[in-house]
Structure 1
Amino acid sequence: MSGLREELAAALAWARQRSTVLTISVDDADLVAQHSPLMSPLVWDLAHIGNQEELWLVRDVGGREPVRHDIDDLYDAFRHPRRTRPALPLLGPDETRRYVDEVRDKTWDILDASTFRGSRLVEDGFVFAMIAQHEQQHDETMLATHQLRLGRPVLTAEPVPSAVAAGDPGEVVVPAGEFDMGTSSDPWALDNERPGHRVFVDAFAIDTVPVTNGDYAVFVAETGSEAPQFWIDDGCGNWWRRRFGVLEPVPPDEPVVHVSWFEASAYARWAGKRLPTEAEWEKAARWDPVTGRSRRYPWGDDPPGPEHANLGQRHLSPAPVGAYPDGASPLGVQQLIGDVWEWTSSPFTGYPGFAAFPYREYSEVFFGGDYRVLRGGSFGTDPIACRGTFRNWDHPVRRQIFAGFRCARDL
């Protein structure tokens, strides 16, 4: 069990390191400010991260006394819409930091004592991994808040790699047939990824790379459609973008980002195509035509490395198409993982045999609305919260998330 314990400890520590970077990079005024009514103040996200860790690890798994029994309501995401959270009597920045540190100290003791046996919640370290995934998901949300924040640049990262393979838009044909969608065996998969099940998909064609900024600029010019969020027209036929406080020319060969589902759908229709269904996206990403099995990732079952995908805030933008040939699927579809979340045409719902675990509010309460599924992760998604079965969802009008798309078509 020592290997599992060390893996979980590393995942929790890395998530906290990232949360710290995202919150110490701005002053207290920025931490408590609401930079968009679509987003929480950064200080709310940080305290919510600590509160979820306290509820699940300190109180439930650890059986310890509450660290702060008086703040559960304040940091319940279902009780208070994001736009109203600044008006709540939230913990201040210093108090929030002390709180999350105290919770984490108790978590280390509970992790050290765990046998990872006795209940489904702790088996294979699921609940510890769930908390690490939860923190990383909020880290991506905080990164999106940073993009909405006005002011001087405060975040830094390595430049994106150059394209090393042909990134010309093309398509591959995915033959008709069944494949294994979702998972019943991945120990850290969340409830909406389960259970694994066989799905028949008709033959279709899918683009080998995501739609690029250059592609989308042509669409905007020819249709008069609105440009992606954060694009600025200089009046001389050139597009610029504001990226985490930096004003720079829009790179034509990077996947377009910050477009809504409606905009992605409109582009696909203009191009004579459509958005892929969720099942089509997953088959293109995971299905190996030689073995007939579904891989954990497009390149295989090994976890993502820097040669496979643009993940984990290693960079602060998508990489050019063709930058990750080692991450291609068996059919040759590139950059399915990382760079930009990809809109699909599918509504968010449970798989056949779905069972909520460990609580309904993670997935089930979102079924049946107008939510659309996104797949693949973005440059702001950590590897622990991104795999070939991972499902994200959002309202189709949302543009502030790191979302792009690729197109598909019927045969």
Structure 2
Amino acid sequence: MTDPAHDADTLRERALTTLTTARARTTLLTSCVEDPDLTAQHSPLMSPLVWDLAHIGNQEEQWLLRTVAGREAMRPEIDGIYDAFEHPRAARPTLPLLPPTEARHYASEVRGRVLDLLESTAFHGTRLTEAAFAFGMIAQHEQQHDETMLITHQLRKGPQALTAPDPEPAPLLTGPSEVLVPGGPFTMGTSTEPWALDNERPAHRREVPPFYIDTTPVTNAAYKAFIEDGGYDDDRWWTPEGWAHIRGNSIHAPLFWRRDGKQWLRRRFGVTEVVPPDEPVLHVCWYEADAYARWAGRRLPTEAEWEKAARHDPAGDRSMRYPWGDDDPGPEHANLGQRHLRPAPAGSYPEGESPLGVRQLIGDVWEWTASDFLPYPGFQAFPYKEYSEVFFGPEYKVLRGGAFAVDAVACRGTFRNWDYPIRRQIFSGFRTARSAGDV
């Protein structure tokens, strides 16, 4: 019989570790630049970094100190300022934001009280406290904002502020360029992952016909061939909406790329460098991914196909937590957690491949899928409808797998991300697929 006290200790340690890891990353992202860079808006697509910092503290206070612990509000007058649904990002610089020193103090004071609360919380009784879900939700929320702050750093003009070691070079991948995923049912989503968010639930069976999927994400070299073949100038490869978007915005290459003579350069976190041919392509929108796939005689995988490729174990006819099994991600499995500031070369992380031999399904780049963001059968919003429910519909496309900017706590085989098909500032790439009957 399992010792309940041991379970509580394990949950408490996991919550403490994930909260501490997230805060260390938040501190790095907000301390590597001077205060004027924290209060500036570096793109109308993004909030000032100081807004994210105080918003992280405000959400933590509202959910853990007020909702879970039932305490009085510390700063009720700022709730509206840091309500993400009340103020669009472009308007946030006009708000009376807490200045950097005050924002840091507020977030730190909230965290101190939360750590005291963590010591005394019993992880049962309500859905929020069961298995420390509320603490896991807040850790994921902070890491998601850390990812958006890293996007802001990429958009920021000026000298390099962040550094990290590059991934190890990958041996040349000598296997097949695509993998056959057999047809049949599999279990999609989860009903058992304790910190899974509402849109990942519930687990349900999906029937998926046989299909082929790329062994690795599409590389810069492969995408460059699309550019050089006139892909951006040929409407055959684009949806009408995609064609209107790229023509109307004069888009001719991935975001941050520019041609210099016969070579392509890119800007990455304040450094200009030659586009590395063997890395997965990055900063492309859904329309670009879809057009490339059509040009290549293929298509984007559906969300169900992507998840089956990532989780299905044909030997045991079961769905795993990750492509490599049920163990939490390690550095040998995937490029996660801002450990590096770029994708690893295509073919990296052989220990992270799926039973069928598909690589880099977790980490490196978010992967666009063909699917709209829709609820699973039996979906129930929890703990608030604004996390997922208000975004369901054809306006948003699903991305899967996470990126180098994503922490493991906010990345699972079931984790679902979504965005408008025009978005390019996100760390997005893709891989292609084809139906098994296609030649």
Common fold by TM > 0.5: yes
1:168 shift after superposition: 6.7
Read off the aligned partner of 1:314 and give its amino acid letter.
Answer: R
- Choose which of 139, 144, 148 in structure 2 pairs with 1:137: 144
1:67 shift after superposition: 1.2
CA distance in 1, matches of 2:161, 2:84: 27
Residue 257 of structure 1: SS of its match in structure 2?
Answer: coil
- Choose which of 85, 90, 95 in structure 2 pairs with 1:78: 85
- Choose which of 352, 374, 378 in structure 2 pairs with 1:349: 374
Structure 2 counterpart of 1:185: 192
CA distance in 2, matches of 1:168, 1:186: 33
Structure 1 counterpart of 2:432: 407
Aligned residue pair count:
410
1:410 shift after superposition: 1.3
1:40 shift after superposition: 0.4
Structure 2 counterpart of 1:264: 289
1:224 shift after superposition: 4.8
CA distance in 1, matches of 2:389, 2:362: 25
1:215-234 alignment, distance < 5 Å: 215-225=222-232, 226-234=252-260
Residue 371 of structure 1: SS of its match in structure 2?
Answer: strand
1:325 shift after superposition: 0.6
The question of 1:45 aligning with 2:52 is answered: yes
Tell which deviates more after alignment, 329-338 or 157-166: 157-166
- Choose which of 342, 346, 350 in structure 2 pairs with 1:317: 342
- Choose which of 282, 285, 290 in structure 1 pairs with 2:307: 282
CA distance in 1, matches of 2:432, 2:224: 16
The question of 1:68 aligning with 2:93 is answered: no
Structure 2 counterpart of 1:120: 127
Structure 2 counterpart of 1:163: 170
1:294 shift after superposition: 0.5
CA distance in 1, matches of 2:377, 2:174: 37
Contact kept? 1:164, 1:324, Cα under 8 Å:
no
CA distance in 2, matches of 1:118, 1:395: 38
Residue 290 of structure 1: SS of its match in structure 2?
Answer: coil
Per the alignment, do residues 167 and 28 of structure 1 end up closer, same or farther by CA in structure 2, a change over 3 Å counting? farther
Per the alignment, do residues 233 and 169 of structure 1 end up closer, same or farther by CA in structure 2, a change over 3 Å counting? farther
1:348 shift after superposition: 0.2
- Choose which of 373, 384, 409 in structure 2 pairs with 1:384: 409
Tell which deviates more after alignment, 278-287 or 215-224: 215-224
Residue 127 of structure 1: SS of its match in structure 2?
Answer: helix
- Choose which of 36, 39, 45 in structure 1 pairs with 2:43: 36
Contact kept? 1:167, 1:322, Cα under 8 Å:
no
Residue 294 of structure 2: SS of its match in structure 1?
Answer: helix
Identity of aligned residues (%): 66
**TM-score of the two chains, using structure 2 as the length reference:** 0.92
Residue 370 of structure 1: SS of its match in structure 2?
Answer: strand
Per the alignment, do residues 389 and 130 of structure 1 end up closer, same or farther by CA in structure 2, a change over 3 Å counting? same
CA distance in 2, matches of 1:285, 1:193: 15
Contact kept? 1:165, 1:325, Cα under 8 Å:
no
Read off the aligned partner of 1:150 and give its amino acid letter.
Answer: K
1:183-222 alignment, distance < 5 Å: 183-222=190-229
- Choose which of 9, 15, 35 in structure 1 pairs with 2:22: 15
CA distance in 2, matches of 1:224, 1:247: 25
Output one character per residue of 1:264-297: Cα deviation in whole Å (capped at 9) or x when no partner: 0000000000000000000000001100000000
CA distance in 2, matches of 1:323, 1:162: 8
Contact kept? 1:157, 1:316, Cα under 8 Å:
yes
Structure 1 counterpart of 2:248: none
CA distance in 2, matches of 1:97, 1:54: 14
CA distance in 1, matches of 2:12, 2:288: 44
CA distance in 2, matches of 1:168, 1:261: 28
Contact kept? 1:167, 1:321, Cα under 8 Å:
no
Output one character per residue of 1:94-120: Cα deviation in whole Å (capped at 9) or x when no partner: 010010011101101111110111101
CA distance in 1, matches of 2:39, 2:141: 21
Contact kept? 2:191, 2:203, Cα under 8 Å:
yes
CA distance in 1, matches of 2:147, 2:394: 23
Residue 423 of structure 2: SS of its match in structure 1?
Answer: coil
Contact kept? 1:165, 1:323, Cα under 8 Å:
no
Output one character per residue of 1:144-191: Cα deviation in whole Å (capped at 9) or x when no partner: 000000000010111111113516771111111000000000000000
Long gaps (5+) in structure 2: 1-7, 233-251
Residue 158 of structure 1: SS of its match in structure 2?
Answer: coil
Structure 2 counterpart of 1:104: 111
Residue 319 of structure 2: SS of its match in structure 1?
Answer: coil
1:322 shift after superposition: 1.3
CA distance in 2, matches of 1:364, 1:17: 31
CA distance in 2, matches of 1:378, 1:159: 15
Per the alignment, do residues 276 and 224 of structure 1 end up closer, same or farther by CA in structure 2, a change over 3 Å counting? closer
Contact kept? 1:177, 1:200, Cα under 8 Å:
yes
- Choose which of 309, 333, 336 in structure 1 pairs with 2:358: 333
The question of 1:367 aligning with 2:367 is answered: no
CA distance in 2, matches of 1:145, 1:393: 18
Contact kept? 1:164, 1:325, Cα under 8 Å:
no
Output one character per residue of 1:283-315: Cα deviation in whole Å (capped at 9) or x when no partner: 000001100000000000001111100000000
Read off the aligned partner of 1:149 and give its amino acid letter.
Answer: R
- Choose which of 320, 328, 338 in structure 2 pairs with 1:295: 320
Contact kept? 2:41, 2:47, Cα under 8 Å:
yes
Long gaps (5+) in structure 1: none
The question of 1:242 aligning with 2:271 is answered: no
CA distance in 2, matches of 1:102, 1:29: 23
CA distance in 1, matches of 2:179, 2:20: 40
